[in-house]
Structure 1
């Protein structure tokens, strides 16, 4: 007669201090990877307008979090992703990785990404066009599951007004949590995108 052994469910665990060492070792002072993924993905051969994205990530108490992993994924300047599932009839920029990884600064809490402004992309199944946007994923101690959100561009009001994802959000004030403001610095566009993990200004996160 066989006996079945039932093991209890493994408890969830938040991301620990190993996040920086294992995923962004340069920021932690380690040079352990031959090719480190970084926050500058706008190389000289990449087509498009060079931009900087920066901001802070605030915890539920309103304090800047200084140990957060930030990843972004975006389309190229023509509005196409470097992924086999994207079959749009648009040019593929082989020089553009489209994916960045960085962390918030240990002293200031600021994250900074150098990239290019993406073009508009087709919605699911070729439906309504989505406004230019950048996908964000963040992980940190105190977060059980990585949080996914989007950043839209404040200087694209017409495209944003028609975006099918933004329009899913019923409250206009909640949509504003996904809009980055534009300024100029040293001849380059800088988009400020702060992320709030709680309280009244909590950023909209998506279940993806």
Structure 2
């Protein structure tokens, strides 16, 4: 018999609290035996993966300029040919040797997150126009009710960034640099500022 559901109320949202690491990165917390290694940990590639190997590192910084020590960051990106490792990818077969997704808790002493990945290729926007190469970030931490979504773009892709349809939609152009990483060799530094001066642009996805 079908039951009316109008009496069920939405549960209130809560911050991630101190348990997000226990649930998502148990090995990091010293809880072994759940997974051989934490999901999303380690390089996103192996020796057969196509593409340029890069390192992405940074900090999550609050409105007071303090580094969060308990943030957890995930990334999602295309492979070197701009294809996603996803069942919904219909443009071709993504590189089977590239994971395309990673998860990293910030170092509990410094707060730094680090990903070993490859530089992604451009992917199409609605209507087929290409977006500049980018990596999507998702951030959660104590005090954040809903995970924050943002993107990291590459500083050497000046022409592609200038033509990117998503960056073009940002009203205040002086905030676009908050989405552009800094490069030194094969390492890209991308700090995520939650509030205040230099606040990172976040997307409502």
TM-score w.r.t. structure 2 length? 0.92
1:95 aligned residue: 97
Distance 2:179 2:66 in 1: 19
- Relative to structure 1, the CA distance from residue 5 to residue 147 in structure 2 (aligned partners, 3 Å threshold; closer, same or farther) is closer
Aligned length: 200
Instruction: Select 2:126's aligned residue among 124, 127, 144.
Output: 124
Output one character per residue of 1:131-170: Cα deviation in whole Å (capped at 9) or x when no partner: 0000000111100000000000011111100000011012
Distance 1:80 1:147 in 2: 24
| Displacement of 1:62 | 1.0
| Displacement of 1:8 | 5.3
| Displacement of 1:29 | 1.9
1:114 aligned residue: 116
2:142 aligned residue: 141
Residue 76 (1) aligns with residue 79 (2): yes
1:41 aligned residue: 44
Distance 1:75 1:163 in 2: 16
| Displacement of 1:15 | 0.3
Whether contact under 8 Å (1:39, 1:112) holds in the other structure is no
Residue 199 (1) aligns with residue 196 (2): yes
Residue 50 (1) aligns with residue 53 (2): yes
RMSD: 1.8
Whether contact under 8 Å (1:155, 1:181) holds in the other structure is no
Whether contact under 8 Å (2:28, 2:38) holds in the other structure is no
Distance 1:23 1:42 in 2: 21
Whether contact under 8 Å (2:59, 2:68) holds in the other structure is yes
Unaligned runs of 5+ in 1: none
2:28 aligned residue: 27
- Relative to structure 1, the CA distance from residue 5 to residue 176 in structure 2 (aligned partners, 3 Å threshold; closer, same or farther) is closer
